[in-house]
Amino acid sequence: MKLVLLLLLVTEASCRSHSSGCEKGCDCRGDLKFTICSRASFTRLPSRVPPITELLDLSDNWISIIPERTFNTTRKLRVLLLQNNNISVVEDGAFCQLEFLQKLDLSWNQITTLSEGFSIGLASLRELQLSHNRLTTLDSRTFRHLDSIQRLNLTNNSIQTIQMRSFSSMSLLRQLHLQDNQLTSLRSGTFSMLHSLKVLNLAGNQISEAETGVFKPLASLTLLNIANNQLTTICFKTFLSIHTYSTHLLLEGNPWNCDCDLQRVFRKLRSIQRLFLDDYYNLTCSSPPDLQGYLLINVDDELCIAETVTVLIITITVIITLLAAMLMGERKRRRRKRRDSTGRSRETSQTSQTTEATSVSDLNISLFLFSRCSLVVFSGNRFLCIDICKP
């Protein structure tokens, strides 16, 4: 038993021994092809890393710059961990020789911009972590060479602008995390090439508007999270354009304006079987003032009853008025017809026709235009506008 324990200790010691190809402060495990250099207080990238290394962990150091062609001796890397450093500059072509790299973690750094040269050589990359940096804009060329990317995490930056075609090369992307940034609007074309995207997380931004066709290209979307933004209302067609079989929507934490329009939108959305409003029962009204703090589910059945009843009453009244006018016109026409049959003179007949035309005109020029909250009646030479939403 003691011999077995001794052999295990010797094996572990040999695995942790620092050969000539391993930087001091690193743990080079040749049997696993791992090189662990975390918490080694490095201010620059180590120069001696075994060329067979497939996982290089440089997290929790003080590295500030990733120079060009730094990894030319470690071309077999598949996982590169650089989180929790002080990186502010990534030079063009820094990863250009890492043709096998599948995961790159640059989260929790100080990166403010990424140029087109950032993604050169990363054609095999599947996961990119850029959360908790200082990015403000996504350029249309930054991710141009990420043809195989499946997961992109940009959480907790300061992104205000996403240029058109920023994700144009990411036809295989499945997850896009943009929560906790500073986006204010969503424009059509922003996600135009993301046909494989399943998860889109936009929670915790400042989004107050979304164009109708912005989600239309997302043919595989299963989760759309727009919680905790600044939406007061939404357009029914914005979500109707999502044609996946099953899509879950998260919308709570927005300052909803619980007017009748919003009620109609949500009533329609809930009737679409392929859309699931997972947090509908948690949606809270911020306006109008008398409904502030109310749950939307508690007001949707009674908010618009008075308006609906008023609209019905006005509509029925208008129909009855028109029918009565038509009946009176028909009676006058019959009376004139009887008078014409008694043998009036041509002059009298012409006068009667003129009078009839005038009467018919008086009846027919009473037109009305009906909208949600107003009724416009044209009678004679006057327009009358009636507000039918007031109790």
pLDDT at 30: 81
pLDDT at 20: 55
Dist CA 101 CA 74 (whole Å):
10
DSSP, residue by residue, 87-145 = --EE-TTTTTT-TT--EEE--SS------GGGGTT-TT--EEE--SS---EE-TTTTTT
Dist CA 183 CA 20 (whole Å):
50
pLDDT at 245: 86
pLDDT digits (tens), the chain, 391 positions: 443 333 333 344 444 444 457 999 999 988 889 999 999 999 999 989 999 999 999 999 999 999 998 898 899 999 999 999 999 999 999 999 999 999 999 999 999 999 889 999 999 999 999 999 999 999 999 999 999 999 999 999 999 999 999 999 999 999 999 999 999 999 999 999 999 999 999 999 999 999 999 999 999 999 999 999 999 999 999 999 898 889 999 999 999 999 989 999 999 999 999 999 999 999 999 999 989 999 998 885 555 755 554 455 666 666 777 766 776 776 777 777 777 666 555 554 454 444 444 343 444 444 444 444 555 554 555 555 555 554 4
pLDDT at 243: 86
pLDDT at 10: 34
Here the tokens at position 123 are: 């054609």
**DSSP code for 344:** -
Helix (H) or strand (E) holding 332: helix 305-340
What is the separation of C-alpha 65 from the centre of its chain, rounded to a whole number of angstroms? 34
Q: What residue ranges of the chain are covered by domains with CATH 3.80.10.10?
A: 21-182, 198-303
Dist CA 32 CA 301 (whole Å):
63
Q: What is the rounded radius of gyration, in angstroms, for the C-alpha atoms of the chain?
A: 35
**229 CB contacts (<8 Å, ≥6 apart)?**
202, 203, 204, 205, 206, 207, 208, 253, 254
Dist CA 191 CA 200 (whole Å):
10
Decide: 212 and 236 in contact? Cβ < 8 Å.
no
> Phi/psi of residue 185, each to 5°?
-150, 160
| Architecture of domain 21-182 in this structure | Alpha-Beta Horseshoe (3.80)
CATH class of 198-303: alpha beta
DSSP, residue by residue, 191-207 = TTT-TT--EEE-TTS--
pLDDT at 121: 93
pTM: 0.76
Name the residue type at position 383. Answer: F
In 164-249, where does DSSP find H-type helix?
A: 236-240
